[in-house]
Amino acid sequence: MQIIHKFAVGIYPKAKSVRSFFALKIVLQNVYIFFMINKHLQHINNQNDKDVFFFMKKIKVLFLCVHNSARSQMAEAFLNHLAGDQFEAESAGFEPAELNPLVVRAMAEVGIDISQKKSKAVFDLVKRGDFYAYVITVCDENTAERCPIFPGVTHRLHWSFQDPAAFTGTEEEKLEKVRILRAEIKKKIEEFIAEHGERVQ
């Protein structure tokens, strides 16, 4: 990723704004992802294993957001908690950051401990050669353009949720907003399970 960053910096003087720079960097990163996945798909085809998704014991789901510090972590935790016998969920982001402590606290309130979870970079999953039946972005509308794009998957979905990092107010007020977000994400996960869970072989 250092090469992509340097290349973007080299072109940056031609960019009109910082926003343009980040947009350029994301495009370059997505080109890299696409190249890596196509390369891996070619390897799978050579192994006569084109139907890899259909023989999964569990449906693999990847949740993506920018930092993998809140929304995607909550979605991953809820799906594994509520339907771990049917789905195998992971999460990642473009720019991994420390977990939001209010999110950790809110999830603990409902009996789900994510305190030991670490944010992950989407590129690490690409390098691992993993594939997913569903890739779900959970950015809010204002940052959707910065959400990672993960090519080569069966289904892509987008769920718009507010970023807890943008919540304002006292600590308790921000925690209450996180609780509301928690309920929204849980509801969406329950709907996803109801719609797609029966597809497990």
Residues annotated as part of the active site: 65, 139, 147
Could you tell me if 77 and 165 are in contact, meaning their C-beta atoms sit under 8 angstroms apart? no
Separation of alpha carbons 198 and 201, rounded Å: 8
**Looking only at Cα atoms, what is the longest distance across the chain?**
57
Separation of alpha carbons 175 and 98, rounded Å: 17
Strand partners, 156: 135
Sheet order of strands, 87-93 included: 87-93, 59-65, 134-137, 155-158
Phi/psi for 61 (5° steps) reads -130, 135
Vertex 190 angle, CA 188 and 192, to 5°: 70
Strand partners, 121: 93
Q: Torsion over CA of 53, 54, 59 and 65, rounded to 10 degrees? A: 30
